[in-house]
């Protein structure tokens, strides 16, 4: 758990790639930027870890040396609500991601649970809880005990992942991590995060369901986002782009009010640049209070 709000990019920033940086260089480059979190992107992975254990351990060592909190975003190829073989393959992908997360010392595997399909919402919730419990039990049997599973709030109406659904999964399954993607909730609600009170309501609902410590230690994604009322999420936008929401300053007010210490992962196209901006915006509000 973070000892203070931490900020970092989702994946290796493009500038680092342009510089020719290796994965093991990322923590020290983030430290130069005064960032202190990094979410490794395992989003194209199959059913076995697609990185060598030595590479994961080297990344973890560099992260600890530079005080960078690691998380891992799991495979996009996960659907816990499909046919049996699809669900079983999805579980194996989650386990593969968790194994790599254990090697590198990442504290959570963030994942998208899947699509409702022909299932009712009550049935998808039941199946999600069942599958996450099974994966969690398998991880324990493999000796993977420090990595939490983090089902993420989602931005499209067709996807499992409303705030209420994610809170309920976290309530019912031990060793889960609350993951709030604020841009997704903004898109899913048709632009519903407009005021400080809108953010406060979400944090209050989470606190009532999961307790104060879960809220203070939530894992977050943030960007501005474009959406349609019919489908929800359309595309992410950079922090300073006009005409899109939500506004980070309003979330920052709530972070200070609730004494939160989230790991805040930036998902804009300028992952590290915008992460630095968010950190500075929060710092200004902290000074005012």
Interval 199-250: pLDDT, tens: 999 999 999 999 999 999 999 999 999 999 999 999 999 999 999 999 999 9
Q: What is the mean pLDDT of residues 79-91?
A: 96
* pLDDT tens digits for range 121-175: 999 999 999 999 999 999 999 999 999 999 999 999 999 999 999 999 999 999 9
Give the C-alpha separation, 216 to 198, whole Å. Answer: 17
pTM: 0.96
150 Cβ contact list (under 8 Å, min separation 6): 71, 108, 109, 110, 111, 176, 177, 178, 179, 219
> Does the bond joining 171 to the residue before it have cis omega, within 30 degrees of 0?
no
Q: Could you give the CA distance from residue 282 to residue 255 in angstroms, rounded to a whole number?
A: 8
Q: What is the number of alpha carbons within 13 Å of residue 44 lying toward its C-beta? A: 2
Residue 51 DSSP one-character state: S
Report how far Cα 47 is from the mean position of its chain's Cα atoms.
21
Q: What domains are defined for the chain?
A: 6-288 (3.20.20.150)
Cα 51–chain centre separation: 20
Residue 1 reports pLDDT greater than 70: no
Q: Which two tokens stand for residue 52?
A: 């060598």
- Report in angstroms the alpha-carbon separations of 211 from 147, 207, 208, 214, 271: 20, 5, 6, 6, 30
Paired tokens of 26: 């990322």
Average pLDDT over residues 271-283: 98
Tokens 């005409």, residue located: 243
Q: What percent of the chain has pLDDT over 90?
A: 97
């Amino acid at each position: 758990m973070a000892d203070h709000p931490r900020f970092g990019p989702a994946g290796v920033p493009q500038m680092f790639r342009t510089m020719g940086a290796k994965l093991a260089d990322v923590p020290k480059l983030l430290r130069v930027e005064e960032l202190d979190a990094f979410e490794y992107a395992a989003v194209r992975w199959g059913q076995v870890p697609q990185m060598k254990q030595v590479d994961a351990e080297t990344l973890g060592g560099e992260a600890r040396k530079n005080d960078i909190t690691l998380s891992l975003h799991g495979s996009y190829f996960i659907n816990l609500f499909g046919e049996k073989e699809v669900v079983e393959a999805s579980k194996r992908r989650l386990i593969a991601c968790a194994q790599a997360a254990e090697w590198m010392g990442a504290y959570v595997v963030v994942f998208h649970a899947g699509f409702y399909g022909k299932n009712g919402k009550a049935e998808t919730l039941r199946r999600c809880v069942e599958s996450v419990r099974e994966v969690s039990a398998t991880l324990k049997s493999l000796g993977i005990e420090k990595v939490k599973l983090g089902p993420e709030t989602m931005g499209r109406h067709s996807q499992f992942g409303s705030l209420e659904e994610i809170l309920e999964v976290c309530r019912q399954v031990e060793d889960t991590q609350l993951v709030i993607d604020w841009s997704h909730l903004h898109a899913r609600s048709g632009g519903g995060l407009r005021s400080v009170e809108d953010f406060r309501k979400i944090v209050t609902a989470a606190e009532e369901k999961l307790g104060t410590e879960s809220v203070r230690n939530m894992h977050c994604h943030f960007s501005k986002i474009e959406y349609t009322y019919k489908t929800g999420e359309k595309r992410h936008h950079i922090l300073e782009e006009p005409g899109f929401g939500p506004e980070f300053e309003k979330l920052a007010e709530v972070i200070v009010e609730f004494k939160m210490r989230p790991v805040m992962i930036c998902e804009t196209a300028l992952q590290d640049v915008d992460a630095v901006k968010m950190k500075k915006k929060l710092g200004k509000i902290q000074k005012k209070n």
